[in-house]
A and B are shown apart, each in its own frame.
Chain A
Amino acid sequence: MKRLIAGMLGGLLVMGGAAAQTDKKPASKPAAKPAAQAVQAAPAAEVKDAATLEFEKFRAEMEDSNPAELFEMKGEEQWKAKRGPKNVSLAESCDLGKGVGQVAGAYVIHPRYYADANAVMDLERRVVWCMVEKQGFKFDDIAKKPFADSNSTPDITNLVTYVATHSKNMKIAVPLDDPKVRDAFETGKAMAAYRAGPYDFSCNTCHSGDGKRIRMQQLPNISTPEGAIKGVQGWPGYRMTGGVMLTHQWRMTDCFRQQRFPQPKYASDAIANLLTYMIGTANGLEYKGPGIKR
Chain B
Amino acid sequence: MTKKIILLAAMTAPFMIAAQPANAEGDYSAKAIEVFKKDFQPRGQASIDRLAEDGLQAICNRTGNNPSPQSAKQLEADQMSSIKHPADGKLMGDWKEGEKLAQSGRGFTWTDDPGLPVGGNCYNCHQISPKETSYGTIGPSLYQFGKLRGTSEEIQKYTYNKIFNAKSYNACSEMPRFGHVGALKPEQIKHLVALLLDPESPVNK
Interface residue A273 (Cβ < 8 Å from any Cβ of B): yes
Once bound together, how far apart are the Cα atoms of A263 and B110, in whole Å? Answer: 8
Q: Nearest 10 A-B pairs (CB), nearest first?
A: A270-B39, A42-B141, A190-B32, A199-B176, A268-B39, A190-B28, A27-B130, A263-B43, A191-B32, A23-B133
A-to-B contact residues, CB < 8 Å: 20, 23-24, 27-28, 30-31, 35, 38-42, 45, 186-187, 189-191, 193-201, 205-206, 209, 211-217, 219, 256-258, 260-265, 268-271, 273
B108 pairs with A199, CB closer than 8 A = yes
One of A30, A41, A262 near B41 (C-beta < 8 A): A262
Interface residues on B, range: 35 or more
Q: Who on chain B is nearest to A216 by CB?
A: B134
Distance of A96 Cα from B29 Cα, bound (Å):
30
Residues of A within 8 A of B25 (CB): 190
* Contact A189 B133, beta carbon cutoff 8 Å: no
Q: List 19 A-B contacts (CB under 8 A).
A: A20-B133, A24-B133, A31-B144, A186-B24, A187-B32, A195-B61, A195-B65, A199-B183, A200-B56, A200-B176, A214-B124, A214-B136, A257-B109, A262-B41, A262-B47, A262-B48, A263-B42, A269-B35, A269-B38
A-contact 0/1 string along B29-64, CB 8 Å cutoff: 101110110111111001110111100110011001
Residues of B within 8 A of A (CB): 24-25, 28-29, 31-33, 35-36, 38-43, 46-48, 50-53, 56-57, 60-61, 64-65, 105, 108-111, 123-125, 127, 130-131, 133-138, 140-141, 143-144, 147-148, 167, 174, 176-177, 181, 183
CA distance A219 to B105 in the complex (A): 17
Q: Quick one: given A195-B60, A199-B176, A200-B57, are A262 and B28 in contact (CB under 8 Å)? A: no
Query: Would A39 and B138 count as touching, CB distance under 8 A?
Result: no
Assess the B134–A42 pair: CB atoms within 8 A.
Answer: no
